[in-house]
């Protein structure tokens, strides 16, 4: 019972089915997913393509609703929490982020403007994160089309960090970053988790990053949770081999 009270996030037998034409029952995307997450956990979510990783993050950000089962934040059922309030606490950085025609500097400030923070606080916080993430001055006046995929990814991560959410959901956050920037971002996230008890759930195909960064690992396959274990108990070589094998099988299926 004690663990239930301490859980920051809890999923109980969550199922997600998507309606596809010609299939009345729907297509199973996630099945019987149950796990708990504590404050300050750094969780890597791994699994082959199509395993349901992105949909799991979408459920946690309420971009989708479970077909059945329950999700709790601090013991409060998800659907009882107003969605904007929930998203201020549980923030998603999707694989592709848009700056909506804004410059980088405007886009970084925008989430804070929406929250009505004083101008000086906004400027200070934006400058702090620009410095911490080593975002060069010459990016600040650029719009989305003037940034590379990696630059856009870093700006998207900065926008989420600026809000200081309690739970940060990241969908392949380092896939387009160079190695140096990826490790810098991971180092900052680790510090945040340790100093502010920020909880991090990150989908990642780069197992070396997951191994170095995470405290727990969730392994999904075909919409089911294959394992939920502490990072220290993972056999990383075995996991690497099984993911390569599973990915090859997915590719074979697609011919």
Residues in touch with ligand ATP (CB under 6 A): 18, 20, 27, 29, 47, 49-55
Least Å distance between CB 219 and ligand ATP? 11
When the beta carbons of 63 and 102 are compared against ligand ATP, the nearer one is 63
Q: How many residues does the chain have?
A: 255
What are the CA-CA distances from residue 193 to residues 9, 95, 116, 168 (Å)?
Answer: 15, 21, 26, 10
Least Å distance between CB 89 and ligand ATP? 22
When the beta carbons of 38 and 242 are compared against ligand ATP, the nearer one is 242
At 184 the three-state DSSP class reads helix
Least Å distance between CB 18 and ligand ATP? 4
CB 14 within 8 A of CB 78: no
When the beta carbons of 56 and 104 are compared against ligand ATP, the nearer one is 56
Which residue in the block uniquely carries the two structure tokens 């009882």? 80
Least Å distance between CB 82 and ligand ATP? 26
The Cα angle at residue 197 between residues 196 and 200, in degrees rounded to 5:
115
Least Å distance between CB 201 and ligand ATP? 13
Cβ-based burial of 228 (10 A; exposed 0-12, middle 13-18, buried ≥19): middle
Task: Round to whole Å and give the CA distance between 192 and 203.
Answer: 18
Residues 6+ apart with CB under 8 A from 55: 16, 29, 30, 64
Task: Round to whole Å and give the CA distance between 83 and 231.
Answer: 32
When the beta carbons of 114 and 149 are compared against ligand ATP, the nearer one is 149
When the beta carbons of 176 and 188 are compared against ligand ATP, the nearer one is 176
When the beta carbons of 42 and 53 are compared against ligand ATP, the nearer one is 53
Q: For 57, what's the count of Cα atoms within 13 Å in the CB-facing half-sphere?
A: 24
When the beta carbons of 49 and 230 are compared against ligand ATP, the nearer one is 49
Least Å distance between CB 26 and ligand ATP? 9
Q: Which helix (H) or strand (E) holds 69?
A: strand 68-73
Least Å distance between CB 113 and ligand ATP? 31
At 203 the three-state DSSP class reads strand
């Amino acid at each position: 019972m004690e663990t239930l009270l301490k859980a920051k996030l809890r999923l109980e037998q969550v199922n997600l089915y998507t309606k596809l034409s010609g299939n009345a029952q729907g297509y199973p995307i996630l099945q019987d997913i149950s796990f708990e997450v504590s404050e300050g956990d750094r969780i890597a979510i791994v699994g082959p393509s199509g395993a349901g990783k992105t949909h799991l993050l979408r459920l946690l950000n309420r971009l989708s609703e479970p077909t059945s089962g329950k999700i709790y934040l601090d013991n409060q059922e998800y659907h009882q929490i107003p969605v904007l309030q929930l998203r201020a606490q549980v923030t998603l950085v999707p694989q592709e982020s848009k700056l909506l025609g804004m410059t980088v500097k405007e886009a970084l400030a925008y989430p804070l403007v929406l929250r009505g923070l004083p101008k000086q606080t906004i400027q200070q916080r934006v400058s702090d994160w620009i410095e911490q993430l080593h975002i060069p001055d010459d990016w600040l006046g650029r719009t989305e089309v003037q940034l590379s995929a990696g630059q856009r990814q870093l700006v998207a991560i900065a926008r989420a960090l600026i809000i200081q959410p309690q739970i940060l959901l990241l969908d392949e956050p380092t896939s387009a970053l160079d190695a140096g920037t990826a490790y810098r971002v991971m180092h900052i996230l680790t510090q945040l988790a340790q100093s502010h008890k920020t909880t991090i759930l990150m989908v990642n195909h780069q197992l070396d990053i997951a191994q170095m960064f995470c405290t727990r690992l969730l392994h999904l396959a075909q919409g089911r949770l294959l394992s939920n274990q502490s990072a220290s108990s993972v056999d990383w070589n075995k996991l690497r081999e099984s993911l390569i094998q599973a990915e090859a099988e997915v590719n074979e299926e697609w011919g």
